[in-house]
Structure 1
């Protein structure tokens, strides 16, 4: 039986969804701007082998607002583990959730395994773009950061009531285009809507989006991976999202950097998933579930 529950994590309440079962526990974490509903298909694919618990990270979905720091978010995960009585859960995360998973593994050497699904901070300096001329790399980074600036400015915007039906229809069309479950996709969209004072807005807010950007831009995962002793798996994308295609050279260079960094860390298993973009959780949930299950099986 699937069970939704709010967990008190200090001043912040965290919304969780427990898919049930008596197999080894697994925390499944979504990416920035997402929520637990978007992990449903992967959660169902993992459920035969794990008790899967998904959650809305703070400032997302039905969880409460709270300043974003890595320590605060890790504290939220710890509160979920205590109150749901999860003993040594594996932690699997996508994008932002993947970064959290890696940080959890560093703090919890007893963890049976952490899996990062393309959980890498965005590129911020030319040295992270091998093969690109430094001057061109700097120019491309400036262009990319301008796109992120615009997205941050648009975060948390008010949606006129008359536009909501069209937006839901667009979500349904997007789900069909991706071959995803329409009901799950629309739940993910609706779960990030906030209805307050007769107005509707989308989470996360502009303030939280800015905090997330700062936290990710300042995060260097290379020393974290090197200092982590529990089993860890990094699954990397191999192609661009449509919105990344104007920056194809930049992202190709950054993927080379990610591979070089990962392969230099002893004990870190790295898989570059064929024909997978950053949206791999939507594109290939069955393949990811098989990878994750196989990786965790010897230690589960």
Structure 2
């Protein structure tokens, strides 16, 4: 398993190559994460694929750069070219899933792309099916306040004690999901940048975090889902994260709206799977099951079916 930097694009991109015997696959993390968070899923996918995990720009050990979808896609093209990955499959979670869907739209030669709950950020009343508009606006304002508070907290440097507390929290989260605590600690530490005064900052930097938020709020993926000629699988969550339960009605309405918009599409290249019992943390919850789903979907011998739910 080797780690290297790809410097042929507009931002240096850190990658980790797990090797593997099959067709190449780029594996993309979510917003605020990094490639270390994808280690478990990568290991489950490796028997069938040559798996390469990526730190998206501004995350982990990759370079900074403005968050424009076209430039992020160009980063991945540079990775594929530099590593001689011919027509790689693309798999991503959350933000990485959005990138995978955009890649599928623009690369009909791609053998397949998978988005693991890669939905744009919930931010507008029209995204909420069956919910009173006034109530929706009120709840969205409360949700935005929560996001603002988290962003403000992450923008401040962390003391050594705060870092230690955060690492303890990562170990506790790993235990909740039955994952390896050292992997979760490594993922958190990968986004830490020492300030030189005993404190550390968490990547991505506040400017990029705000760019990401605006980009994810304004993104409409329906054109990508409608136009893709590359096989594209959307695996969607059906349950709330613990942190989302205070906004249960809001997220339930968003899931309904997303399902209704997808059901209106007629594209034989698109498959939709509503994964029963899974939350946005599905990669931590069910890595082996997801690896099997992904491998079967990307298999040349697999049966490709149109939109369906499960």
The two structures have a TM-score, normalised by structure 1, of 0.96
Name the structure 2 match of 1:238: 238
CA contact (8 A) 1:155 1:209 kept: no
The count of aligned residue pairs is 299
Distance 1:163 1:96 in 2: 26
Offset at residue 52 of structure 1 (A): 0.4
Q: Check the 8 A contact 1:112/1:299 in 2, yes or no.
A: no
For residue 279 of structure 2, the aligned residue among 271, 277, 290 is 277
1 CA distance for matches of 2:161 and 2:252?
Answer: 40
Deviation per CA, 1:52-98: give whole Å up to 9, x if none. Answer: 00010011101111111101111110110010100000000000000
Where does residue 259 of structure 1 map in the other structure? 259
Alignment of 1:41-52 (within 5 A): 41-52=40-51
* Structure 1 runs of 4+ with >4 Å offset: none
Deviation at 1:263, TM superposition (A): 2.1
Question: What residue is the counterpart of 1:102 in the other structure?
Answer: 101
**For 1:28 and 1:219, how far apart are their aligned partners in 2?**
21
Residue by residue over 1:118-168, the C-alpha shift from the partner in whole angstroms, topping out at 9 and shown as x without a partner, is: 000012222211111111111111111111122222233211123333322
SS of match in other structure, 1:93: strand
Deviation at 1:205, TM superposition (A): 1.3
State the match for 2:305 in structure 1: none
2:225 aligns with: 225
Q: How big is each residue's C-alpha offset from its partner over 1:31-53, in whole Å with a ceiling of 9 and x where there is no partner?
A: 00000000000000000100000
Match of 2:16 in 1: 17
Secondary structure at 2:201 match in 1:
strand
> In structure 2, how many angstroms separate the alpha carbons of the residues matched to 1:299 and 1:206?
45
RMSD of Structure 2 on Structure 1 (CA): 1.3
Distance verdict in 2 for CA 1:61–1:299, change over 3 Å: farther
SS at 2:168's partner residue? helix
Unaligned runs of 5+ in 1: none
Match of 1:149 in 2: 148
Asked whether the equivalents of residues 155 and 204 of structure 1 are also in contact (C-alpha less than 8 Å), the reply is no
For 2:171, the equivalent position in structure 1 comes to 172
Residue pair 2:21, 2:48 contacting (<8 A) in 1 also: no
1:123 aligned counterpart, secondary structure: coil
Contact 1:38/1:188 (CA < 8 Å) preserved in 2?
yes
Please give the alpha-carbon distance, in whole angstroms, between the structure 2 residues aligned to 1:101 and 1:27.
Answer: 9
